[in-house]
Structure formats: C-alpha cells, structure tokens
Amino acid sequence: MGKGFYFAFGLLILVGIFFFAFMKPSASGYSALENFNGTVDFYRSESCGCCTLHESYLRGSGKLNVKDNQMSDISSIKTGFNIPTQLQSCHTAVVGNYFVEGHIPLEAINKLISEKPNIKGIAMPGMPQGSPGMPGAKYGDFVIYSVNSDGSYEEFMRI
C-alpha cells in the first residue's frame, strides 16, 4: 500500500479523534434512547474505519449498550433483513426488532424506537459527508428511508 493510503487512513483517524473529543454525542434529550434497555448489535467489516467511528458514536451516546460484530462479509446480514441494494451502506445495526442501515444520527434512531412503526428498519444509503462517523461538513439534508417487510421503502425523515 502506498503512502497516500496511510496518509488518508491517518487523517480519518485524526478527524475521528477530534470529532469524539469535542463533539461527543449524547442520548440526552432522546427519551426513547435513554430508556432503551436492549443491546445494539453492530455488524461491520473488519477493516472499515468509518464503521468503527459510527460504532463509537453510538457507544459514546452514553445510553446504548453496543456489541461490535466484526465480520469478513456482512452481506448475509443485509440479505437476512431484506435491505434493498440501493439503500445499503457499509454497516448494519440491529436495534430491538429493527435494522438501522448506515451512518444514521441518534435523532432518527430515537424516532424509530419511540414511534415503533410497523416496518423492518431504516436506512440512509451511501456514506454521506458529515454524517456520524464520516468526515467533512454536512451539506443538504440527510434523507432516511423506512423499509417495509416487502422491501418497498419511503421517506422516514430528513435531518
């Protein structure tokens, strides 16, 4: 691997350290998260740096018990939850009976847990700049989709 790879990886780590040192997330104000007693099962690739940062973001909320499940291939998790290909991201969390796909902010997870909609889960496709665990400034809305049992989906919320 070249110097560029190591530089980019080092920069990602530094951004993550800065983010969590100065912008630590909190579940405070998110009553459903504060009262959630279950474990968040977090499935990610063994080598994904941004997944590690998002997992730390969830754990850093102070209220969530996060179990980190590193896998060489997480496609079976996505297939098992019938997550549409066009909504997939680099990691999947399981919160209660729902999947949470991608770099989704605490606000959306709190809404999911508090409203308990009749859906399979929520997803934010790709790896949007400025989302939890991703470097850079946020631009535009984060569009989060709800996924139904039949694989159809619609907008859940915008942040």
Looking at residue 38, its pLDDT comes to 85
d(CA 103, CA 90) in angstroms, rounded, equals 9
Q: Which two tokens stand for residue 139?
A: 């631009």
Label residue 60 by pLDDT band (50, 70, 90): confident
Looking at residue 127, its pLDDT comes to 87
Residue 35 buriedness (CB in 10 A; 0-12 / 13-18 / 19+): exposed
Label residue 12 by pLDDT band (50, 70, 90): low
d(CA 17, CA 107) in angstroms, rounded, equals 22
Closest C-alpha to 58, from 49, 70, 67:
67
Looking at residue 2, its pLDDT comes to 65
Residue 81 buriedness (CB in 10 A; 0-12 / 13-18 / 19+): middle
Confirm if 131 and 105 have CB atoms less than 8 A apart.
Answer: yes
115 in helix, strand or coil?
helix
As for how many domains the chain has, the answer is 1
User: What's CA 151's distance to the chain center, in Å?
Assistant: 19
Closest C-alpha to 64, from 89, 85, 102, 95:
95
DSSP state of 131: S
Supply the range of the domain harboring residue 17: 3-158
**Rg over CA atoms, the chain:** 15
Taking only the tens place, the pLDDT of each residue in 69-117 is 999 999 999 999 999 999 999 899 999 999 999 999 999 999 999 999 9
Taking only the tens place, the pLDDT of each residue in 25-38 is 545 566 777 778 78
Residue 93: other Cβ atoms inside 10 A: 26
